[in-house]
Amino acid sequence: MPHSPARPLHQLEAWQAAALLARRELSATDLVRACLDRIAEREPEVQAFVQLAADAALVRARELDAGAVRGLLHGLPFGVKDLFDSFDLPTGYGSPIYAGQQPVADAAAVALCREAGAMLLGKTVTTELANMFPGATRNPHSPQHTPGGSSSGSAAAVADAMLPLALGTQTAGSLIRPAAFCGVVGYKPSHNRVPKAGVKSLSETLDTVGGFARSVRDVALLGAVLTGDARLADPAAFEQATAPRIGWCQTPEWAQADADTQQAWAQAEKSLAGQGQPLILPDSLSGLVALQKAVQAFETARSLSHERLHHRQQLSTPLQALIADGLAISGQTHAQNLQATARARQQAQALFVDCDVILAPSSIGEAPAGLDGTGDPLFCRSWTLLGLPCVHLPFARGRKGLPVGLQLVGASGDDHRLLAAAHWVHQRLAG
């Protein structure tokens, strides 16, 4: 007998829907139709998608309903940031240079999700070449505010219950920041835990593939597929999770946190009273933001050499300025910056001697008003440079009623422990 969920199908968390689908108490066809109905209702305002694959998704859903259970994501619709190649939908990288480009193969992450039974429902908006120049997407909580970037469409679609899961990338703060602004769970895995093949490259040192969902268990399910590490989605890890030792790290940039982030921090201190102790980064890790900016600028300028040399007039003014900054950095200086990055990553492991995870700000505050920018990734840059896994946890509201939260950071390679701790922490923050 079909299951009658207490909430509309499109609002089910991914892990809940996956369990119902695996038991055949929910059909993939019904779930896809529910998501498409939600998209039809909300997409004119939110503008999260570049293109939908409604007909193909329904065909695939019927195939899945008639066949064997395929994997962890069987029957789940998902969205893909338009920075990932897809063999059946155009990939434009958020730039007029690539309008209508049709790849012949899926990016590795897309292929892995499909192999696990997920259905590609559409390509989501990215900023221009995954940099700072915004796309059309609006914050689903307030259309006059940015959803963040560069994974703007993916975060907004999940936040507005159009999709249970969506893929994104982070080079500075492009997973955690839009997750914070849109009020969803964002997961940035450890650097190089997820294959980047088929994703438009900006910075080999920094680029990381991750995703969005509405709960920690959901991103863990996605993470298990992307990394191939079944520990990430082990139900026992969540059911038996115990209190982690938390390092409370306001970071050297804390003075730039506004009243909304400060209030979220104070709320977390009450909810997690007695868990852990303050953590101050050592002087050797004090210049990470500037170092991240330099590494990103140098590598982005060179990754986008074709665009710079052949399509300069189709690049936005802010992107041209970033490229100019990167070209002004010498190869010798970049080599020194890479050495400094390697040292910092090695030193960062010592942060977890006396704590299991680090709690830190995700953003300066609420999503800024206006659609001409995507907000400042200030509080994400250091953790991205260090290559550490991060999970944004939404649980509060700012002065304008928009989402605010904090991020939990784990040791490199300890994604499964981070996600289990994040589940435990989020239950108490959101409860």
Give the tokens for residue 262: 């400060």
DSSP code per residue over 232-247: GG-HHHHHT--PPPEE
ω into 150 cis (within 30 of 0)? yes
CB 85 within 8 Å of CB 102:
no
Neighbours of 63 (CB within 10 A): 13
| Cα–Cα distance measured from residue 196 to residue 201, given in angstroms and rounded to the nearest whole number | 8
Residue with tokens 């990288």: 93
- Which secondary-structure segment (H or E) carries 169? strand 165-170
Active-site entry in 152, 154, 174, 363 = 174
Residue 341 neighbours by CB under 8 Å, 6+ apart: 205, 291, 295, 385
In this structure, what are the phi and psi dihedrals at residue 407, rounded to the nearest 5 degrees?
Answer: -110, 150
Nearest to 75 by CA among 26, 124, 110, 40: 26
Nearest to 213 by CA among 366, 79, 398, 399: 79
Nearest to 27 by CA among 59, 78, 72, 66: 66
Do the bridges between strand 390-397 and strand 403-409 make them parallel or antiparallel, or are there none, so unpaired? antiparallel
Active-site entry in 95, 150, 190, 203 = 150
Q: Strand pairing partners for 407?
A: 360, 392
Active-site entry in 81, 123, 188, 196 = 81
Q: Strand pairing partners for 392?
A: 186, 407
Q: Judge residue 16's burial from the number of C-beta atoms within 10 Å of its C-beta, 0-12 exposed, 13-18 middle, 19 or more buried.
A: middle
Q: Catalytic site residue 150?
A: yes
| Cα–Cα distance measured from residue 232 to residue 219, given in angstroms and rounded to the nearest whole number | 9
Q: Helix, strand, coil % (nearest 5) of the chain? A: 45, 15, 40
Q: Catalytic site residue 190?
A: no
Q: Cite the DSSP H helix spans in 96-215.
A: 108-115, 152-159, 176-182
Q: Catalytic site residue 203?
A: no
Cite the active site residues.
Answer: 81, 150, 174
